[in-house]
Structures are given as structure tokens and as C-alpha cells.
Structure 1
Amino acid sequence: MQVFDQAPEGIQKAPHEPRMLAAGYQVALREVDFSDVHDKDSLMLAMLRGLALTDNFGRNWDALYDVLTDPDARPDRLGLLLCDFKNFRHRHPHLSGDLERVMLDAQRDVTTQGRQLWLLSEELDSDPNSW
């Protein structure tokens, strides 16, 4: 069973070939690279780039939540491919905790709107037993 066969539930391990799989399931997939994130500013910049936001993005937790839950700005079926997320969580546990709360709140709230938001962790050195 593939990840897109089921309703999104938390942060899940990205499937093999997530880009091709998402295209087949008509899920818009956006990549957010956490490999160069070292503080909140660089995190917000990574989100800005990954979500293709404009420079007027507020770069704070509320603005990120609003972007992820805005039905006019996001497709009904959206996947965030969180690249190098496990290492980011290890390097910055407090910052990643704040980010996870925002993403999980957004995931829950878009579900109530009849939409879907998958949060997929893709690791650079994928160990099948690491997640």
C-alpha cells in the first residue's frame, strides 16, 4: 500500500520515488531542504523556497500555518517532501518541535476542510530502519 492511498497522518517516511508517485496520485509535491537550516531565519527561508512563496511571506509560525492552510494558495492534495528532516530534528530539537507543531496543526485543519496535506520525511542517507 502506498502513502497516498491513505489519509495523511503525521510525519511519514517518504516512499521510494516520491516525485513520480505523487504525480501518479495527482498530489502536488513541494520539496523543503533542511540541510542548511541552522536557525529560525534559515528555516523560514527554506520554507519560502520550498513552497515557492513571495518575499512578503511573514517568516513566522503564524504566517507558515496560514500558508499551509490557505485553500486559495495551496492545492487540495499537497505533499511536503521534507529533505534531510531527521538530521535537522537531531541538530535542532526545539526548532524542529515548533515546526512540527505548526505542520501537524495545519495537516489536521486542512483535513477538516476536505483537503489533504502529506508530510514526508526523505533522508539523504536512507536507512530503512531509521524512521
Structure 2
Amino acid sequence: MMQIFDDVPAGLQAAPHDPRIIAAGYQVMVREVSFGAVDNKDSLMLAFLSGLALTEAFGNNWDALYDMLTDPEQWSGKFALLLCDYRSFRSRHPRLSAELERVLLDAQAEATRQERRLWLLIEEADSDPDGW
């Protein structure tokens, strides 16, 4: 059975069942960003700050997010961003999510150019059978 981590990352993709377990088998580092409480750009940047365990020095803007995601010193090799409750966020904030997706997809393309891998995986809470 083919797994998502067998392929080069391609845009935003649905997360597989048990993404953290599968990623561990492929030696892919996973960081989770929750969009449940995001309602503006500031709370979006805080979600990334928290999910990626960034320092307070993080610039809280699109350029800083792009720079952090494309920095080989931060993330070497294979890295997956698990975007939790993203579809709901996207429907609530179409303009903000469109801006974010531009940054994420540009970062993914740059990571590929650097011969690194950045998967952008969408995970929905209601798809989890345990209800977490």
C-alpha cells in the first residue's frame, strides 16, 4: 500500500490515518498547527508560534513564516506540517487562508528546490474515531 510519504509533497493533502505513526516510519518530523481558535492573522501567527515551538523572536508576518519554513537549519530533510481543523478555518476565513496557502505552497516549492521535503497535511478532528 502506497503511503503519502513515498511521494514528493504536492500541495495541501489530506492527512493519512495515524499520520504521526506513519511519519515516524519514514523519519519525517511532524509539527501540528491547530486552526480551531484562529480568527485573524495575529491568532494565526500565534498558532504557528505554538505549534512549531518557535521563539518569541518569530516575526509574526508572512515573510517570517516563509523564512522559518524554508530554513534548512530549522528543518532538515523531511518535515510535515499537520494542519488541524483547517477546512473549518478555510471556510470561516477564505481570504486569510488564501494568503496562508500562498506562503505554505511557496515554502513547499522552495524546500523541494533545496532537495528537502515539506508535506502540508490537513487533518480534521471529526475524522478521528477516538474523538480527539
Q: CA contact under 8 A between 1:30 and 1:79: conserved in structure 2?
A: yes
Unaligned runs of 5+ in 2: none
Q: CA contact under 8 A between 1:33 and 1:84: conserved in structure 2?
A: yes
Partner in structure 2 of residue 33 of structure 1: 34
- Pair 1:6-2:7 in alignment: yes
C-alpha displacement at 1:99, in angstroms?
0.3
The 2-side partners of 1:4 and 1:16 are apart by 13
Question: SS of 1:23's equivalent?
Answer: helix
The 1-side partners of 2:46 and 2:7 are apart by 30
Partner in structure 2 of residue 94 of structure 1: 95
Partner in structure 1 of residue 117 of structure 2: 116
C-alpha displacement at 1:74, in angstroms?
1.2
Question: SS of 1:79's equivalent?
Answer: strand
AA at the equivalent of 2:109: R
Partner in structure 1 of residue 19 of structure 2: 18
C-alpha displacement at 1:126, in angstroms?
2.2
AA at the equivalent of 1:71: P
Indicate the RMSD between aligned Cα atoms, in angstroms: 1.0
Partner in structure 1 of residue 44 of structure 2: 43
Partner in structure 1 of residue 85 of structure 2: 84
Unaligned runs of 5+ in 1: none
The 2-side partners of 1:67 and 1:51 are apart by 10
The 2-side partners of 1:24 and 1:51 are apart by 21
Q: TM-score, normalised by structure 1?
A: 0.95
AA at the equivalent of 1:77: K
C-alpha displacement at 1:73, in angstroms?
1.1
Cα offsets for 1:34-76 (capped at 9, x unmatched): 0000000000000001111000000000000000000011121
User: Which consecutive segments of 4 or more residues in structure 1 shift more than 6 A?
Assistant: none
Question: SS of 2:24's equivalent?
Answer: helix
Q: TM-score, normalised by structure 2?
A: 0.94
C-alpha displacement at 1:125, in angstroms?
1.2
- Paired-residue identity, %: 64
